[in-house]
Amino acid sequence: MAGPCSTGAPAAGWKSHIVRQLRRRDRMQKALFLELVPAYNRLLEKAELLARFSEKLQPEPNDVTPSTHQGPWEEESWSNSDQVPSPATRREKWQEEKEGLRLVCGEMAYQVVEKSAALGALESELEERRRRLAALEAQVAQLREKRAQQVSLVDARRARNVAQQAAYEALRSQARLQEAALRSLQEEARNLLERLVQRKARAAAERNLRNERRERAKQTLVSQELKKAAKQTVSISESPETLGNEIREKAEMTLTVPAEPVFLESEAGEKWKRPFRSASATSLMLSRCVDVVKGLLDFKKRRGHSIGGVSEQQYQSIPVCVAARLPTWAQDVLDAHLSEVNAVCFAPNSSLLATGGADRLIHLWNVVGGRLEANQTLEGAGGSITSVNFDPSGSQVLAATYSQAAQLWKVGEAWSKETLSGHTDKVTAAKFKLTRHQAVTGSRDRTVKEWDLGRAYCSRTINVYSYCNDVVCGDHVIISGHNDQKIRFWDSRGPHCTQVIPVQGRVTSLSLSHDQLHLLSCSRDNTLKVIDLRVSNIRQVFSADGFKCGSDWTKAVFSPDRSYAVAGSWDGALYIWNVDTGKLESILQGPHCAAVNAVAWCYSGSHMVSVDQARKVVLWH
């Protein structure tokens, strides 16, 4: 920034310019007057000279001859001319000249008056300009003072900015160090988790091996017991009950202490002996074999529930709606969240509703008497909620967030129970599988992950070539919709993609019918497509004038009985198509004034809920 010397130079320049202009004007006006004043003075002198000549030329009353009063001018005139003019002629001539000079003097006097008036006006203008110049100089002084204050303020702020920048750089370096420490801790935690899982797997394998050895030893003892029981000699007269009790006692003894073969003597004497396999011994042997087989089966079942095995317990089936009711009017309208609402889902009991929004909150609502009543708020989400899903039992809520993770809540607990971290970008979808303690997530990092919720552990990662916008799960299949206009099918028991169905437009949502035979997709080409999974072909395409998909996460769903398909448009209207006829059944308008993000139809088929980007939640009946 320049100093005071550089600021004074422009001010001195315009001031000297004004002084030069004033001096130039003074010179121009003075030059005019310098020519006028000498001329006026000469005229005055001539007028005085003519007045004296006229006085001299007037004759006196006692003059007889003019020769006595001739002056030197007359002598010259007489000498130059032979004719001598008369005094009357001279008087007339001089009177004419006098009148001419008088007229010239009058004109000169008038011009002098005009020039004097102009000079006065110019002097007043000069005075006014001097006053303005003084005012401008005072204003310039004030501006210079203000400029000096501003310069000092700028210097102070610059010094403060330098200090803040230094503090910011220090904070950045500290943040980098902390991020490096966090990454190292995360890596260490990942290693510890892997070691823990490996250790648990080894412990489970060892436990299974010990159980198998114990079971083999048990089977060996039982087989020896059966062989000994088959070789026993019994008397015909002995009762079956007594024999059964004795054999049972002997069998119990053989499990602990090896016993010698038992020979039964008859009451007649020791000479008559023969081996005999009684009916009770045979039935005992068969019953024992059945018990052994049952034990083996029970052992294999117990082994499936051990740490090393995978639990395949299925949820109880959800009752399927026989006939869904077509909604016609808005029963309740609420401003549910602080910002736009992105996701909505009904619990299997149809009376509990979950909504998730960009305010990082999940609200649970009870549907009571056609109204939405606040039940609970689930907190602790690390970012905006993009997807909400209930497990088939209705006891847990799974949400996908922008914080590169999915989070799990238990209904009745306000804070998150588990965090499924492992994605490197926004998680766009999170769904429970039909198998207990398992879930699937899709992300914009081009991966689909399967999770073991019991250990909060990623059991499988599927790499895809495009962003994943939504996923659904069947019995043994995972279906994902992607940004590259394709729907991919994955076998949960195999590593590779089993099928790819191309569609027109980016896939925004997927909805699987309850019978798992039909799939509904919504895409950015403003159409809904029904895919028959039995033949893997697009069966129907729904579109309508005015329907437009409002975002990349617009959700469309089947009705519980798969009779209707519903989706929200960018203008706030809900479009409902009949799946059987393929025709547009209804258009619901009114409460929504912004793009509808998601729609949910309760399992009983009695009501429907829609959410939009203007924070509204609408219950339709």
Paired tokens of 352: 């509990």
Is 32 domain-assigned? no
Burial 600-616 (b: 16+ CB within 10 A, else e): bbbbbbbbbbbbbbbbb
Is residue 95 assigned to a domain? no
Q: Report the distance separating Cα 556 and Cα 523, nearest Å.
A: 10
- Say if residue 361 is in the same domain as residue 497: yes
Q: What's the pLDDT tens digit per position in 579-608?
A: 999 999 999 998 999 999 999 999 988 999
Buried b / exposed e along 368-384 (16+ C-beta atoms within 10 A)? eeeebeebbebeebebb
pLDDT at position 59, please? 57
The answer to whether residue 107 is domain-embedded is: no
Relative orientation angle of helices 240-254 and 87-231, to the nearest 10 degrees: 120
289 and 401 co-located in one domain: no
pLDDT in tens, 338-359: 999 999 999 999 899 999 999 9
pLDDT above 80 for 278: no
* Integer Cα distance of 205 and 226 in angstroms: 31
CA distance 518 to 556: 14
- Report the distance separating Cα 140 and Cα 134, nearest Å: 10
Integer Cα distance of 235 and 546 in angstroms: 96
Strands 497-502, 486-491: pairing kind: antiparallel
Q: Is 378 in contact with 416 (CB distance < 8 Å)?
A: yes
The residue type at 388:
V
Say how far apart CA 531 and CA 502 lie, in whole Å: 11
What distances in angstroms separate CA 246 from CA 71, 109, 272, one per listed residue?
A: 200, 169, 21
Q: 221 in a domain, yes or no?
A: yes
In a domain, 504, yes or no: yes
Mean pLDDT for 410-418 is 89
CB atoms within 10 A of CB 406: 30
In a domain, 480, yes or no: yes
CATH number for the domain including 487? 2.130.10.10
Q: Is residue 498 part of a domain?
A: yes
Domain hosting 297: range is 200-265+277-304
Residue 292 shares a structural domain with residue 349: no
Looking at residues 93-105, what average pLDDT do you find?
Answer: 82
Instruction: Please say which residue of 255, 288, 304 terminates a domain.
Output: 304
Strand order in the sheet with 352-357: 341-346, 352-357, 362-368, 371-378
Confidence band, pLDDT 50/70/90 cuts, at residue 363: very high
For residues 292 and 347, membership in a common domain is answered with no
Task: Give residue 68's pLDDT.
Answer: 40
Question: Is residue 510 over pLDDT 90?
Answer: yes
User: pLDDT tens digits for 232-243?
Assistant: 765 544 444 444
Q: Tokens representing 12?
A: 């001195």
Q: What would the pLDDT profile of 203-217 be if each residue is shown by its tens digit?
A: 878 877 887 888 888
If asked whether residues 389 and 285 sit together in one domain, one would say: no
* Residue 385 β-bridge partners: 401
- pTM equals 0.53
- Residue 10: the pLDDT is 60
Distance from C-alpha of 444 to C-alpha of 239, rounded to nearest angstrom: 78
Q: Are 506 and 608 members of one domain?
A: yes
How many CA atoms lie less than 13 Å away from 595 in the CB half-sphere? 15
286 and 346 in a common domain: no
Q: Are residues 217 and 294 in the same domain?
A: yes
Instruction: Kindly state whether residues 398 and 292 are assigned to the same domain.
Output: no
Q: 284 with 339, same domain?
A: no
Q: In terms of domains, do 491 and 578 share one?
A: yes
12-16, 83-87, 181-185, 517-521: which has the highest mean pLDDT? 517-521
Alpha carbon separation from 457 to 122, 190, 408, 605 (Å, rounded): 97, 10, 13, 36
> In angstroms, rounded to a whole number, what is the distance separating the alpha carbons of residues 463 and 422?
13
| Residues sharing a CB contact under 8 Å with residue 499, sequence separation 6 or more, in sequence order | 488, 489, 536
Across the strands, what pairs with 587? 575
Q: 368, 376 in Cβ contact below 8 A?
A: no
Q: Model confidence at 258, in pLDDT bands (50, 70, 90)?
A: very low
Average per-residue pLDDT for the chain = 81
DSSP strands (E only) in 352-476: 352-357, 362-368, 371-378, 385-390, 396-401, 405-410, 418-421, 427-432, 438-443, 447-452, 457-463, 468-473
For residues 293 and 365, membership in a common domain is answered with: no
**Adjacent-strand bridge partners of 480:** 471, 488
| Structural domain count, the chain | 2
d(CA 471, CA 211): 40
In a domain, 73, yes or no: no
Given this model, what pLDDT does residue 203 score? 83
% the chain with pLDDT above 70: 79
Full strand arrangement of the beta sheet holding 427-432: 427-432, 438-443, 447-452, 457-463
> Above 80 in pLDDT, residue 284?
no
Tokens read off for 266: 């008859």
